[in-house]
């Protein structure tokens, strides 16, 4: 018996997806759990497996089209089953009413029709026949006009607007109103020159929605600080020499992530979220790392980062970033963060006002590390300076608490001996 495989809810908040690529075609035999289609949701590209073994009878959507959760993706049947390929969509179901005796079809909308003439029964007066369009009947009712007392001038006695007394109408039969299809015209130019239209969809659409939600729901303030990472730079350089044979290269990011966790333990209010009228302080540390992709920023999450060494964090960042760029990231790897890092300094720029990831209390932006002159013990020296920007939710914490967090972070990064360096 043919089986309709409907687009499932593949993650929290997912309502629709876009067909990226079909891996099967009608007539193909598939096995249970074999990937049959790639669908891009507003979080990632997911591979959907076949729920059963059988033959592909029909594909209901083309590549590039949008499918909503609950709509049929594909029909799978037995090798002997056949199905028409003429339609590409399932027909829209007409509303069905359910009663105690079964299902009843909804009555069609009222229209101007003439019932067949029948002789009235003795003793019963026949109902007066009134021919009028639904739209005109509604207008007459609004003006308290009794249409049964009006003789229509149209064909077969059809009542027209002129018969009712509405001005500007010729005694022509009323035509049913046909809804006008809205046609979106995309101009290739405006008054200044040529333009290009880029649809807001997929990950970019998610970013737009989340950022708007964040700035409208949270009172966001940004504090900035400069951190001397000269000693950290030397440690990183030495460790990279030790790891050279393993083909592993450490960036500053895993060191900073470890320092952030230490600072969060001393300032736990920044590792929280506001739910209704309660501030939930998380006792675990899931660090989100913003990753640039062709489609926009994605934020994979290092779960329970407090239990991992700097080397383990570095390897996980590299793996998750590659999964994001190849669009193979698991949706679960994009959820559950308690604090986020965005490293725009890897491209350029010093300070910024990053927007908090919805559901978190703060986000730390990392600027570009540069050599700058500093005064140390009365002497001018050159140091490697890391500019950071901390955006926090002023509903949850105050500026003093944010400043204490930045001071803790500064201590751990300027004196890396305070960090637990487990480079295994």
What residue ranges in 157-315 does DSSP mark as E strands?
220-228, 272-275, 278-281, 287-289, 291-293, 296-298, 301-302
Q: Render pLDDT for 230-248 as a digit per residue (tens, 0 to 9).
A: 999 999 999 898 888 888 8
Cβ atoms within 10 A of the Cβ of 364, count?
24
Cβ atoms within 10 A of the Cβ of 35, count?
13
pLDDT at 94 over 70: no
Domain ranges of the chain: 3-77, 129-191, 219-418
d(CA 115, CA 120): 13
Pick 306 or 208 by higher pLDDT: 306
Which of 65-79, 91-105, 130-144, 242-256 has the weakest average pLDDT?
91-105
Share of the chain above pLDDT 70, in %: 81
pLDDT at 31 over 50: yes
Cβ atoms within 10 A of the Cβ of 83, count?
14
The residues with which 16 forms a beta bridge, in sequence order, are: 68
pLDDT of residue 12: 58
CATH no. of 3-77:
2.40.50.100
Q: What one-character-per-residue DSSP string does 72-99 give?
A: EEEEEE-TT-----S-SSPPPPPPEEEE
Catalytic positions, written as ranges: 394
CA 273 to each of CA 336, 362, 403, 407: distance values in angstroms, whole numbers, following the listed order: 12, 9, 19, 22
Length of the chain: 424
Which of 190-194, 310-314, 332-336, 412-416 has the weakest average pLDDT?
190-194
pLDDT of residue 244: 83
Q: Render pLDDT for 178-204 as a digit per residue (tens, 0 to 9).
A: 455 454 566 787 778 888 888 887 777
CATH topology of domain 219-418: Chloramphenicol Acetyltransferase (3.30.559)
pLDDT at 282 over 80: yes
Q: Taking the model in full, what pTM does it have? A: 0.63
Contact 423, 242 (CB under 8 A): yes
Q: What one-character-per-residue DSSP string does 132-182 give?
A: --HHHHHHHHHTT--GGG----SGGG---HHHHT-SS--SPPPPPP-PPPP
d(CA 309, CA 290): 20
- Rg, Å, the chain Cα set: 33
Mean pLDDT of the region 86-107: 41
Q: Render pLDDT for 366-393 as a digit per residue (tens, 0 to 9).
A: 999 999 999 988 999 999 999 999 999 9
Q: Are strands 339-342 and 287-289 parallel, antiparallel or unpaired?
A: parallel
CATH topology of domain 129-191: Dihydrolipoamide Transferase (4.10.320)
Mean pLDDT of the chain: 81
Q: Which among 8-17, 203-212, 329-338, 400-409 has the top mean pLDDT?
A: 400-409
Q: What one-character-per-residue DSSP string does 196-240 give?
A: ------HHHHHHHHHHHHHHHHS-EEEEEEEEE-HHHHHHHHHHH
């Amino acid at each position: 018996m043919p089986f309709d495989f409907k687009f499932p809810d593949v993650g929290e908040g997912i309502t629709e997806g876009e067909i990226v690529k079909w891996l099967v075609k009608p007539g193909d035999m598939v096995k249970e759990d074999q990937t049959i289609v790639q669908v891009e949701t507003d979080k990632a590209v997911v591979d959907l497996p076949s729920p059963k073994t059988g033959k592909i009878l029909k594909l209901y959507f083309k590549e590039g089209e949008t499918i909503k959760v609950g709509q049929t993706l594909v029909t799978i049947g037995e090798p002997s089953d056949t199905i028409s390929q003429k339609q590409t969509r399932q027909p829209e179901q007409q509303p069905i009413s359910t009663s105690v005796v079964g299902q009843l079809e909804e009555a069609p909308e009222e229209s101007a029709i003439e019932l067949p003439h029948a002789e009235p029964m003795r003793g019963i007066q026949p109902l007066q026949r009134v021919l009028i369009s639904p739209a005109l009947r509604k207008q007459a009712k609004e003006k308290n006009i009794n249409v049964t007392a009006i003789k229509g001038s149209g064909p077969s006695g059809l009542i027209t607007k002129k018969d009712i007394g509405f001005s500007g109408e010729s005694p022509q039969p009323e035509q049913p109103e046909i809804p006008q299809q809205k046609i979106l015209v995309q101009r290739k130019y405006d008054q200044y020159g040529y333009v290009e239209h880029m649809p807001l969809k997929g990950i970019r659409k998610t970013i737009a929605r989340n950022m708007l939600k964040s700035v409208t729901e949270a009172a966001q303030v940004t504090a900035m600080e400069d951190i001397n990472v000269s000693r950290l730079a030397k440690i990183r350089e030495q460790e990279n020499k030790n790891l050279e044979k393993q083909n592993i290269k450490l960036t500053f990011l895993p060191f900073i992530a470890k320092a952030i966790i230490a600072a969060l333990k001393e300032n736990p209010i920044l590792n929280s979220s506001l739910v209704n009228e309660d501030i939930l302080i998380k006792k675990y540390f899931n660090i989100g790392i913003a990753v640039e992709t062709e489609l926009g920023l994605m934020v994979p999450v290092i779960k329970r980062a407090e239990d991992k060494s700097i080397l383990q964090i570095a390897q996980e960042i590299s793996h998750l970033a590659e999964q994001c760029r190849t669009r193979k990231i698991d949706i679960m790897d994009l959820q559950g963060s308690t604090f986020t890092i965005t490293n725009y300094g890897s491209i350029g720029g010093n300070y910024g006002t990053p927007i908090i990831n919805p559901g978190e209390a703060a986000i730390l932006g990392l600027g570009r590390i540069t050599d700058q002159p500093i005064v140390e013990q009365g002497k001018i020296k050159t140091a490697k300076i890391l500019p950071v920007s901390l955006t926090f939710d002023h509903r949850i914490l105050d500026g003093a608490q944010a400043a204490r967090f930045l001071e803790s972070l500064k201590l751990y990064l300027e004196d890396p001996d305070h960090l637990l360096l487990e480079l295994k």
